[in-house]
């Protein structure tokens, strides 16, 4: 199946699922298609090779990221819930992109404790109340010249206020708020 058709199928599944289920952990909460397109441009324009995503869900955003990478590139994506890991794994295989994706079943807090690698792009789309817990690790895990992208910066502005202020207060970052999808906050780390 063409990737574009599969992404459209996942968008339909996502909106139907999220309208039907009531428990938050059962919702997919995918990025919007225009956010996916925006991420694709950022990945290609920055010539990113290694990406870290926190918050996989069923893997919709991961597919946008992985598809935009060169063949040797990799997205490490972290998800805490086993049933979402299982869905994401199936979706990565269906999209023929599993070879570019390292799917990690972990809480982000634990993941950052043992992380040694640095990334060209870090995309945060998980439990926003935890971001301050691993702020130092996120900053350290971003390569000089790397890009931090935070979803929901408009839709959940107040929940992200402390974290975004923390990033903006550091002179190593050049930042912008982009009103695409649910609002993407971008922070470029000085090279
Ligand atoms: C908004 S959804 C991610 C949507 C996905 N990025 C997409 O657009 O397709 C957030 C996901 O992050 C996961 N999550 C939330 N907090 C987490 C944490 N601290 N560690 C790992 N996963 C987490 C949730 O289980 C949920 O599946």
Q: How confident is the model at residue 57 (pLDDT cuts 50, 70, 90)?
A: very high
Residue 142 has pLDDT above 90, yes or no: yes
Q: What is the 125 CA–ligand 1 centroid distance (Å)? A: 6
Shortest-distance atom of ligand 1 to CA 130: 19
* pLDDT recorded at residue 53: 99
In what order do the strands lie in the sheet containing 184-189? 101-105, 74-79, 50-54, 119-124, 142-150, 184-189, 173-178
Site to probe by mutation for ligand 1, drawn from 9, 12, 67, 80 as the one with most ligand atoms within 8 Å of Cβ, is: 80
DSSP conformational letter for 99: G
- Residue 1, pLDDT > 80, answer no
Q: E strands, the chain, where? A: 50-54, 74-79, 101-105, 119-124, 142-150, 173-178, 184-189
Q: Which CATH class name applies to 31-189?
A: alpha beta
Residue of 107, 125, 126 to test ligand 1 pocket, by largest number of atoms within 8 Å of CB: 126
User: pLDDT tens-digit profile of 88-132?
Assistant: 999 999 999 999 999 999 999 999 999 999 999 999 999 999 999
Q: What's the sign of the alpha-carbon dihedral 179, 127, 107, 20?
A: negative
Distance (Å) from CA 21 to ligand 1 centroid: 16
* Pairwise CA distance, residues 68 & 60, whole Å: 13
Q: Three-state DSSP class for 74? A: strand
């Amino acid at each position: 199946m063409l990737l574009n058709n599969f992404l459209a199928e996942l968008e339909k599944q996502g909106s139907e699922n999220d309208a039907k289920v009531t428990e938050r952990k059962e919702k997919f909460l995918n990025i919007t298609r225009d956010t996916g397109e925006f991420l694709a441009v950022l990945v290609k324009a920055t010539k990113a090779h290694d990406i870290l995503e926190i918050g996989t869900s069923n893997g919709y955003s991961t597919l946008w990221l992985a598809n935009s990478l060169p063949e040797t590139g990799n997205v490490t994506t972290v998800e805490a819930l086993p049933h979402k890991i299982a869905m994401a794994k199936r979706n990565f295989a269906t999209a023929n992109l599993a070879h570019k994706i390292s799917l990690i079943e972990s809480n982000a807090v634990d993941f950052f404790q043992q992380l040694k690698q640095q990334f060209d792009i870090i995309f945060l789309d998980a439990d926003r109340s935890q971001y301050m817990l691993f702020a130092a690790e996120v900053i350290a895990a971003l390569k000089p010249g790397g890009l931090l992208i935070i979803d929901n910066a408009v839709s959940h502005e107040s929940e992200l206020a402390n974290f975004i202020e923390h990033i903006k207060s550091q002179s190593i970052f050049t930042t912008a708020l982009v009103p695409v999808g649910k609002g993407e906050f971008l922070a470029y780390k000085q090279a």
